[in-house]
Amino acid sequence: MEQYKKEFINFMIESKVLKFGSFILKSGRQSPFYMNAGAYITGSQLKKLGEYYARAIHDNFDDVDVFFGPAYKGIPLAVTAAIAYYELYGKEIKYCCDRKEVKDHGADKGGILGYNIKDGDRVVIIEDVTTSGKSIEEVYPKIKALEISEGGIKIVGEIVSLNRLEKAGNSEKSALDVITETYGFPAISIITMKDVIEELYTNGDKTVITEEIKTELDKYYEQWGAS
């Protein structure tokens, strides 16, 4: 595992973004862990977060023009990643996001905030985490509706912080695998729960992922783990 991924895992724990215990997810599943990107609340945290996204994007995607952050949590992710990408690699990346409600007045009316995506642009969608893959069902058509000619806007991929590695809905596959198969672009994560367990349990001191928590994780993945 790359060093920055190890650092990112510990950064998530220190920022209280990734927690272990007992949590009811939106899907109704009872999970022994939970991730909340809304817990990044300081300038230094957001700066570091953007750097981790920028590194992962640079490692996995070539020739990117735009970072699209789905409202609401994706907005600060796209902004901080664009800033970090320029600082780390010297390339200007534009950012934009969707509006929950279309603006019908002013010079910037419409359903998009920030840069107006156009044909020829190569876009990476940035999110925090996805369990079901539902958000992409709303975001994808919004982006494609902006193109003039079919295939004019190229979505080169999607990236999230954490791949939970669990079944998406009724599928046996993870949400990111379902997105890749459905839309034809790679959906990746900075880290996976396998990475987290390796860093905090297998190679860690077992103070964060204790033996008890590891037992609960094993039970959870026996039931909900993706193939």
Residues tagged active-site: 103, 105
DSSP state of 199: I
Q: Which residues are CB-neighbours of 202 under 8 A, at least 6 positions away?
A: none
* Burial degree of 198 (CB within 10 A; 0-12, 13-18, 19+): middle
User: 10 Å Cβ neighbour count for 22?
Assistant: 10
Distance CA 88, CA 84 (A): 6
Region for 120 from its dihedrals, namely left if φ exceeds 0, alpha if ψ lies in -120 to 50, beta otherwise: left
Token pair 């724990």: residue: 13
Strand partners, 110: 103
